[in-house]
């Protein structure tokens, strides 16, 4: 399995990162994508290594970390990292109106810049979205010129929103929220195409049931995969193979 979204470089894993990596391997995880929160994330990512795991770096500024004044050199810095061969995506970026609506314009401008860089380097964009779905989809639609690919990370939209996202070239990142009782994401996901879905954890956040409330880690992705298998009436192995193939194709890895 490939965890397409994990913040394993954060200090929440400093104490036992080796054990976390070991458990990931035991659970069948072979690759982990690392979305950045800011540029300080990158040196921390570069320290990650484990013989059983491939780590894939990405560069971006999380919408909750967008400053009051966007740095002039944002586009240039993103280009510098994202055009490198050892960077696989642009993000995470996106919109978040849940935590604050003080910087909506800055968040949108930042997302536009990330889209521009993603199109220029031909790598997927990683989109965070919270209570901002219409604005996010409108902005992506406006940016889509046929060259933009990406992931609606931690998908929790409606069937219509999911279809709209897929129609404009996005994939859906399926995380622990899928397993939440009364979350409703399972019913929505059942009506959308599995071949547009990839697995993710968002570790250390959003642990799936039965680990809900605890620190999340890549090994816990198996619970989300099991739920996805149940929804589509497939074996765990088939879900694993199909989502892994989709992730490989999207990110252009072998």
Residues that bind Zn ion (CB under 5 A): 202
Choice between 143 and 202, CB closer to Zn ion:
202
Q: Are 33 and 2 in contact (CB under 8 A)?
A: yes
Q: Compute φ and ψ for 236, nearest 5 degrees.
A: -60, -40
* Host H or E run for residue 54: strand 54-59
Choice between 91 and 162, CB closer to Zn ion:
91
Choice between 92 and 161, CB closer to Zn ion:
92
Smallest gap from Cβ 145 to Zn ion, in A, equals 26
Give the number of other CB atoms < 10 A from CB of residue 236.
Answer: 15
Choice between 202 and 240, CB closer to Zn ion:
202
Smallest gap from Cβ 136 to Zn ion, in A, equals 15
Smallest gap from Cβ 126 to Zn ion, in A, equals 8
Smallest gap from Cβ 46 to Zn ion, in A, equals 18
Q: How far apart are CA 109 and CA 139, in angstroms?
A: 10
Q: Which of 152, 153, 180, 154 minimizes the C-alpha distance to 166?
A: 152
Residue indicated by tokens 């013989």: 51
Distance of CA 172 to the CA centre of its chain: 9
Smallest gap from Cβ 206 to Zn ion, in A, equals 9
Choice between 29 and 231, CB closer to Zn ion:
29
Tell me the chain's radius of gyration from C-alpha atoms. Answer: 17
């Amino acid at each position: 399995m490939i965890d397409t979204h994990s913040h394993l470089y954060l200090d929440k894993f400093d104490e036992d990162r080796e054990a976390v990596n070991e458990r990931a391997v035991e659970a069948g995880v072979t690759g982990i994508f690392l979305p950045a929160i800011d540029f300080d994330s990158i040196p921390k990512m570069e320290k990650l290594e484990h013989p059983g795991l491939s780590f894939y770096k990405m560069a971006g500024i999380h919408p909750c970390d967008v400053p009051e004044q966007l740095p002039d050199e944002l586009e240039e810095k993103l280009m510098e990292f994202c055009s490198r061969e050892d960077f696989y995506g642009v993000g995470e970026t996106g919109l978040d109106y849940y935590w604050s609506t003080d910087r909506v314009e800055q968040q949108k401008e930042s997302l536009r810049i990330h889209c521009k860089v993603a199109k220029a380097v031909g790598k997927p964009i990683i989109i965070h979205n919270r209570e901002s779905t219409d604005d996010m989809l409108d902005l992506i639609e406006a940016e889509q010129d046929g060259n933009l690919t990406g992931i609606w990370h931690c998908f929790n939209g409606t069937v219509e929103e999911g279809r709209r996202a897929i129609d404009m070239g996005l994939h859906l990142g399926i995380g622990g929220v899928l397993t939440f009782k009364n979350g409703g994401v399972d019913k929505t996901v059942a009506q959308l195409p599995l071949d547009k879905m990839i697995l993710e954890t968002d570790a250390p956040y959003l642990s799936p049931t039965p680990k809900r409330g605890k620190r999340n880690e890549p090994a816990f992705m198996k619970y989300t995969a099991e739920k996805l298998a149940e929804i589509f009436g497939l074996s765990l192995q088939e879900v694993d193979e199909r989502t892994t193939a989709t992730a490989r194709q999207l990110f252009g890895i072998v």
